[in-house]
Structure 1
C-alpha cells in the first residue's frame, strides 16, 4: 500500500481550529532541525501554534490552559465527505486536566469545552490520557476518579456514554489510571498506574487481559506505568503491520517495547540518550512504527525507530521556533504525518519531516564511502559534484529507512581535485512536496599513487 497522500487545505484548517494556531509563515530553512517541519503557509495559513490568548478568542472566560495533558486526533466518519475534492477534517481532542475538561473542535470555526470538576456524569477529576476513533468513541483516563470515561461524539457534540471500572485492585478496577490507547480493532489499553499493570478492554468495557499476566509470566513487571502507545497487524495506516505496545514507567525514566505475549523486545533508559535525566511523558507511534516520546524535563521530543534505537531529539526550552515549554501530550495522524503536541500553556502543530545527521566520508584506495543518519524514511539522491555539475551518482531517488545509511562508489574515473558530496532527502509524507533536506561536505580526491 502506498502511503503517499496530499493534504487538502481545508483539511488542515480543520485540524488547526483546536490548536488555535496563529503564527508567521513558517517554512523550513536548510540550517534548521527538520525531524519535524512547519506546514507551509498555503496549507495552514500561518496558523501552527496556539496560546491562551487564542483560546480566549474562541471560548472567552469559559476556560484557560491549566495543565494540558493528552491529545487525540481522528477523522470522524460523520465528517468524511467522499469525492474527488475530499474535505477531510480532523477532530482533535485535548485534555485540559487542571480545568477537568476536554477541549475539542466542533467544526472549522468553533471550539467546545466538555466537563467540570466532580465525579458525576460530565465531570472529571484531573483527567490525563485520551483516545478516540472514527466512530466517535472517546475514552478518557479520569485519573482522580479511578475510572475510564467513555464519551461519544454525535453531530460534533460530546455526550456521556458509560464508565469503565472503579477504584480497586481486581481485574477491571483501577488505581489512578494515567493514559489510554485505542487500536483500530477498538481494543482499549490502559496504564493502571497505581496497580502497576496495563489492562486491556474491548470497546464495551469488558476486561480481556492484563499485563503482566499471572497465567503467562514472561518476567514482565511495571513500576508505576504511565505513557502508552499501541499498534497492531490490522492498523490501517501502518507500513509493517507489526503488533506491539510501548510503555513508560519507573518514574517516567524508562520506555519499553513489548509484544502481545508480554515479552520485552527493547528498552530505553536515560543512559541511552544524550541527557542526564529524562521525564518521558506521552508516547505515539507513526506510520513507519517509529516511536515518539515527549520529555518534559528536557523540553524536547525524542524519536526512536521501530526497534527503539535512538534517532534524534527535536526542540529545546523556549517559546520560539523549534522550542517547547514542557511538552506533554502528543498525537500523530499516521495517514498524512501530522503531529500535534501539547505544552504547558499552548499547543503546536507540525508535519513529519526528515533530517540528515552525522554525515561523514572516507576514501580507501579507489572507493568512496559516505555515511549518515536519516531521522525518517525518505527518498535520497546523492552525488559527487564539481562546479555545480554531477560527476558521480551515489544514489538516485533511493528509498531509505530511518537510521544509519552507507553509500559506496568507485572513484577511479575521477581526476585529482576538490569535489562536494551533495545529498538531498525527501520524506514520504505530505511534506515531501514542500520540503527537501540538503546537506553537503567538501572532499579532496587525489589520484596520485
Structure 2
C-alpha cells in the first residue's frame, strides 16, 4: 500500500516514466530495509549546531509553468524554472517577470547557471546535458559526448571558482565531473550503501568550503565530498534505527553563505534545514496548496539576495521565502483608472488620462521613468507623482495608444499597464475601458 501511495504521488508530479520507476524503486528499498548500525551512526544529524537557524519570511508565490520541477539562479538574480513534462525552461528576471521561454526541450529535469553566462540543462530523453548561452536559442555545446552521456541525469551543480560542473546520474548511481566547456574529468561513487557510494543520487550543491553535497536518495542521507571526490562525512539520520530516519524522499538542496543546507523532502512536503556539520536546525513550509505551503516539492534555489525559491509542481507555483536579512525586488501592483472610462468602438487610436497608484509602497520619492501600454514602445515620462484624496501617491498622465486585438474581452478593453521607475522598480496593473457609442474623445 505504501509503494502504491508513493507511485501515485510521483506520477501526479508528471515526471518521466524512467524517473518515476527509478525513484519508486529507491523508495521501496528505503522503506523496506533498515540501515546498518554503522550507517545510522555515521550519518547522524544529532549534535550541537554551529550556526543559528534561519529566520524565514514568507514573501509570495510565482505562477510559472504548469509543473515546475528544477530551479536555478545566476549572479544577476535571474531565476530558471525547468518543467520536464512541458519540455520548457522559463527564464525570469530578479523581479519575477518572464524574460523568455525555451521550448522544445526533451524532458528537462535539472538546470544550473555559472558566472560566465552559461546555462546547463539536463534532458532525460537523450541522456544529455546541453550548454546554452543566455539567449537560449540553441545549445552552444554539450557535456561529454552529448547524447547518451548519462543513463538518467537528475541534478546539476556548478562550482564557478573551481571551474567544475557536477552532474548526478541516477541511472549509474554516480556523480560525473566536467569542465564548464564540456570535458569529462572524473566520476565519483558508484552503486552501493557504504561511504562514497550511492543509491540514486537526486540532488547536488556546493558550499563555500569547496565541498560537494550529494543527496543519496535511496540511502536516505546526504554525503559530503571534497572537489577531488574524497568522502568527508554524511548526515541525514536521526541517529537511531527503523523509524528514526529524517529523510523519506530527499531531492534538491542548496547551501547558503553560512553553509547551512536547505534540502527538499518531496514526500514530507517541506524543506529541512541542516547545520553545516549535520544537526537539524529547522524546517520551511508545510503540506498544502495555500500561501507558503508545498505539495510534493522537488527543486529549490537560493539567489544572491537571500531569497529561497521552492518548486511545488502539484500546485504549479514557485513559493518564495526571505532568509534572515534579505532584499526583495518584485513587481508592485497598481490600481489604474482612466478618464474617460468609455471609448468609441470604432476609434482605433485612443487618448485617455490614466491615474496609476502603486498599492504597496510609499511612492512619494520615486521618479517615474517609462510607461508601457499593451506591449507598445515605452513612453518616456516627465511627470511626478502627486498625493490623491486618499493620501496615496498617484501618477496622472495623458496617453495615446492603439489597442491590440488581444485586449478585447467581450465589450471591454483590458489594457496591461507597466510603469517603471528610475530605480528599476516595476509597477504593473490593468486598466479596463468600456466600449460604446457614448464614449467621448
TM range (shorter): 0.5 to 0.7
1:112 aligned to 92, 100, 104, which one? 100
Q: Counterpart in 2 of 1:436?
A: none
Does structure 2 conserve the Cα–Cα contact (< 8 Å) formed by 1:229 and 1:284? yes
Q: Deviation digits for residues 20-60 of structure 1, max 9, x if unmatched?
A: xxxxxxxxxxxxx9742134xxxxxxxx2123xxx4xxxxx
Equivalent positions of 1:137-286 (< 5 A) are 137-154=118-135, 158-164=137-143, 165-166=145-146, 173-185=149-161, 186-212=163-189, 220-231=196-207, 241-251=208-218, 253-260=220-227, 261-269=229-237, 278-286=248-256
Query: Which moved further from structure 2: 273-282 or 91-100?
Result: 273-282
2:259 aligned to 271, 274, 289, which one? 289
Does structure 2 conserve the Cα–Cα contact (< 8 Å) formed by 1:326 and 1:343? yes
Distance in 2 separating the partners of 1:34 and 1:225: 26
Q: Counterpart in 1 of 2:73?
A: 73
What SS does the corresponding residue of 1:174 show, helix, strand or coil? coil
Does structure 1 conserve the Cα–Cα contact (< 8 Å) formed by 2:213 and 2:224? yes
Equivalent positions of 1:354-369 (< 5 A) are none
- The higher radius of gyration belongs to 2
Q: Greater relative contact order: 1 or 2 (C-alpha under 8 angstroms, separation 6 or more)?
A: 2
What SS does the corresponding residue of 1:226 show, helix, strand or coil? strand
Distance in 2 separating the partners of 1:265 and 1:276: 17
* Count of residues in correspondence between the two structures: 263
Unaligned runs of 5+ in 1: 1-32, 40-47, 56-63, 77-89, 117-122, 232-240, 355-449
- 1:49 and 2:61 correspond: yes
1:37 aligned to 53, 57, 62, which one? 57
- Are residues 35 and 297 of structure 1, via their aligned partners in 2, closer, same or farther at CA, if it must alter by over 3 Å? farther
Q: TM-score, normalised by structure 2?
A: 0.55
- 1:99 and 2:89 correspond: no
Distance in 1 separating the partners of 2:164 and 2:214: 16
1:343 aligned to 293, 312, 322, which one? 312
Equivalent positions of 1:414-433 (< 5 A) are none
Does structure 1 conserve the Cα–Cα contact (< 8 Å) formed by 2:167 and 2:176? yes
What SS does the corresponding residue of 1:281 show, helix, strand or coil? strand
Distance in 2 separating the partners of 1:71 and 1:259: 24
Does structure 2 conserve the Cα–Cα contact (< 8 Å) formed by 1:226 and 1:252? no
Q: TM-score, normalised by structure 1?
A: 0.54
Does structure 1 conserve the Cα–Cα contact (< 8 Å) formed by 2:252 and 2:300? yes
Does structure 2 conserve the Cα–Cα contact (< 8 Å) formed by 1:252 and 1:280? no
Q: Deviation digits for residues 214-266 of structure 1, max 9, x if unmatched?
A: xxxx95211121111113xxxxxxxxx41211111243722122223421312
- Are residues 72 and 308 of structure 1, via their aligned partners in 2, closer, same or farther at CA, if it must alter by over 3 Å? same
